[in-house]
Amino acid sequence: MRIVLFKAVLTGLLSLMASLAICFSVVPLLGGQVDGAGLAMAILCPLAIAIPASAVHFRHSEKLQRAESIASSAVMELARAYEELRLQSRPDGLTNVLNRQTFQRELTGASKMGMSGGLLFLDLDHFKSINDRYGHATGDEVLRKAGQVLNAHCGRSDIAGRLGGEEFVLFFGDMAAEDMFKRCEEIRLAIARLDVRAPSGAIVRVSASIGAVYCVAGFDAESCLGAADRNLYAAKASGRNTVAFAGSDL
C-alpha cells in the first residue's frame, strides 16, 4: 500500500509541475497573470484529481499483477503436475519399460515419422512354471530383470515395452535388416544369462523366445506387431529359447 501511495503522490506532484508550467507559459501569452485564485486552482486541481485517481489506478494495477502472478504460478504448477502424471503413466511399474498403450502410440509415431527398423516380440519361456515353482515374487524379479535387459539394449531411437504378463516388445529404429538377427541373439543370450535366485537360493533358469520382423518406412504398426507375433509362435514351436525372423513388406 505504501508503494501505491508513493506512486500516487509522485504522480500528483508531476501533474502539479505540469499544471504550473502550462499556467506560467500560456497565461502570460494571453495577457493574464498567474496569481490569487487562479494560482490556487492551478495548484489544488492537479493534486485533488491526480492523487486519488492515481491511487485507484495503481491499486487496481497491483491487484491485477498479483492475480496474474497467482494465475501464472497455478498454470506452471498444473503443467508440472500434468508432466509428472504423463511420465508416471508411460512406464510399466514393474519392469520400467513402456506400458502397452504408450508403446503402441510410440510405435505408430515412429511409423508416421518415416522410420524403419526391427520389431521384436519376446515371450519369457515357461514363465507360469517359474511362478508356480518359486512364487510370484521370484516371477516379478524375472520380469524386472528382463526389463533391465531391454532398456540396456535401447538406444535413442529405440522403444521397449511390455504388452502384458511375460510378453515384451522392442523396436530398433533405423536398424538395417541385416543387423536384425545379431541383435535378437544378443538379447536372447542376455536374458538366458540373467542371474535370478529363488528365496531358497536355487538358480532360476530364464530364457526367451523371440519373433522378429523388419519394418520398412511407413509400416503399419498393428500389422507388424501381428507379423512379429506369428514369428514368435514359430520360435516357440521350434523348441523355445530361439529366434524366428522374417522380413516384412508391411
Read off the pLDDT of residues 180-227 as tens digits, 9 standing for 90 and up: 999 999 999 999 999 999 999 999 999 999 999 999 999 999 999 999
CA-wise closest residue to 227 among 217, 212, 241: 212
C-alpha cell at 156: 535413442
Predicted pLDDT at 67: 72
Confidence bin at 43 (pLDDT 50/70/90) = low
Read off the pLDDT of residues 80-135 as tens digits, 9 standing for 90 and up: 654 454 444 578 889 999 999 999 999 999 999 999 999 999 999 999 999 999 99
C-alpha cell at 34: 498567474
Q: How many angstroms separate the CA atoms of 36 and 23, rounded? A: 13
Q: Which of 62, 84, 166, 222 is catalytic?
A: 166
Read off the pLDDT of residues 142-184 as tens digits, 9 standing for 90 and up: 999 999 999 999 998 899 999 999 999 999 998 999 999 999 9
Residue 166 a catalytic site member:
yes
Does this model's pTM top 0.85? no
